[in-house]
Amino acid sequence: MRISGGIARGIELHVPRGDAVRPATDGMRQSVFSSLAARIPGSRFVDLFAGSGAYGLEAFSRGASGGTFVERSAKALSCLRRNIDAVSKSVGRDSGLLAAVEADALSVPTGVGEPPDLIFVDPPYEAIPEVAPVLFSKLSAALPADWPGLVVFEMPGEAVVEPVGWTCLKRLGRGARNPSVAFFARARPA
Tens digits of per-residue pLDDT, 9-64?
A: 989 999 887 655 555 676 778 889 999 999 999 999 999 999 999 999 999 999 99
Render the burial of 134-152: b for 16+ CB within 10 Å, e for the rest: ebbebbbeebeeebebbbb
Bridge partners, 106 (sequence order)? none
> Which runs of E-coded beta strand occur in the chain?
44-48, 66-71, 98-102, 118-121, 150-157, 166-172, 175-186
What's the chain's average pLDDT? 90
Domain layout of the chain by residue ranges = 26-186
- What is the DSSP secondary-structure string of 114-151? SPPSEEEE---GGGHHHHHHHHHHHHHHHS-TT---EE
Bridge partners, 70 (sequence order)? 48, 101
The CATH class given to the 26-186 domain equals alpha beta
* Residue 28: per-residue pLDDT: 79
Sequence-separated (6 or more) residues with CB below 8 Å from residue 19: none
pTM: 0.93
- pLDDT digits over 162-178, tens only? 999 999 999 998 777 78
